[in-house]
Chain A
Amino acid sequence: MDPLLDLAPCGFLVVADDGHVVLANRTALEMLGAASAEQLVGRHVDALLSTASRIFYQTHIFPTLKLQGQAHEIYVSMLRMDRGELPVLLNARRRNEGDRTVNDWAIVPMRQRNELENEILKARKIAEDSARAKEQFLGLVTHELRSPLGAIRNWAAILAQKGGDPAILQRGTEAIERNAQMQAALIEDILDEVRVATGKLHLDMDEIDARSIMEAVLEGAASTAAAKSITLERDIGHDPLRVRADRTRLQQVFWNIVTNALKFTPNGGRVRAELRCVDDWIEAVITDNGRGISPEFLPHVFEHFRQEEGGAAGGLGLGMAITRKLVELHGGSIAASSEGIGKGATFTVRLPSATPCMRSAGALEASRAPN
Chain B
Amino acid sequence: MTPTQQAAPARATLDREVIRKRNNVNISGRGEKVMVFAHGFGCDQTMWRYVAPQFEHAYKIVLFDYVGCGKSDWSAWDAQRYGSLRGYAQDVLEILEAFDLRDVIFVGHSVSSMIAMLASIEAPERFSKLIQIGPSPCYVNDADYVGGFERKDIEGLLDLMEKNYVGWAAFLAPVVMKNTDRAELAHELQESFCATDPRVTRQFARVTFLSDNRADVRKVTVPSLILQCSEDAIAPDCVGEYLANVLPAATLRRMAATGHCPHMSHPDETTALMKEYLRAA
Which residues of A are found within 8 Å of B110, using beta-carbon distances? Answer: 59
Q: How far is the CA of A53 from the CA of B153 in the complex (A)?
A: 9
B residues less than 8 Å from A25 (CB atoms): none
Query: Taking the nearest CB of chain B, how far is it from the CB of A84, in angstroms?
Result: 15
A19 and B234 CA atoms in complex are apart in Å by 14
Residues of B within 8 A of A55 (CB): 149, 153, 157, 209, 233-234
Please name 28 pairs of A and B residues whose Cβ atoms are closer than 8 Å in the assembled complex, sorted by A.
A18-B265, A44-B231, A46-B231, A51-B149, A52-B153, A53-B160, A55-B149, A55-B153, A55-B209, A55-B233, A58-B259, A58-B261, A59-B41, A62-B259, A62-B260, A63-B42, A63-B264, A64-B194, A66-B261, A66-B265, A67-B193, A74-B169, A75-B163, A75-B167, A75-B169, A117-B163, A121-B159, A121-B163
- Chain A CB within 10 A, most for which of B154, B166, B169: B169
A76 within 8 A of B: yes
Are B42 and A60 in contact (CB-based, < 8 A)? Answer: yes
CB B43 to nearest CB in A, in angstroms, measures 5
* Cα of A256 to Cα of B162 in the assembled complex, Å: 41
Q: Are A76 and B160 in contact (CB under 8 A)?
A: yes
Interface presence of B170 (CB below 8 A): yes
Interface residues on B, range: 35 or more
- Measured between beta carbons, the chain A residues less than 8 angstroms from B40 are 59
Dominant SS among interface residues on chain A: helix
The answer to whether A63 and B164 have CB atoms under 8 Å apart is: no
**Least Cβ distance of A275 to chain B in Å?**
45
Q: Does A214 contact B (CB under 8 A)?
A: no
Partner of B164, one of A66, A67, A68, A74: A74
Within B31-53, which residues are at the interface with A (CB < 8 Å)? 40-43, 46-47, 49
Within 8 A of A (CB), among B227-281: 231, 233-234, 258-261, 264-265
Q: State in angstroms the CA–CA spacing of A74 and B171 once bound together.
A: 10
The 9 closest A-B pairs by CB, nearest first: A59-B42, A52-B156, A73-B168, A67-B193, A58-B260, A52-B157, A51-B153, A75-B163, A60-B42
For B193, the closest partner residue in chain A by CB is A67
In-complex Cβ contact of A58 among B159, B163, B169, B233 (8 A): B233
A62 lies within 8 A of B162 (CB): no
Complexed CA–CA distance, A117 and B42 (Å): 23
Report yes or no: B170 in contact with A64, Cβ–Cβ below 8 A.
yes
Smallest beta-carbon distance B170→chain A, Å:
6
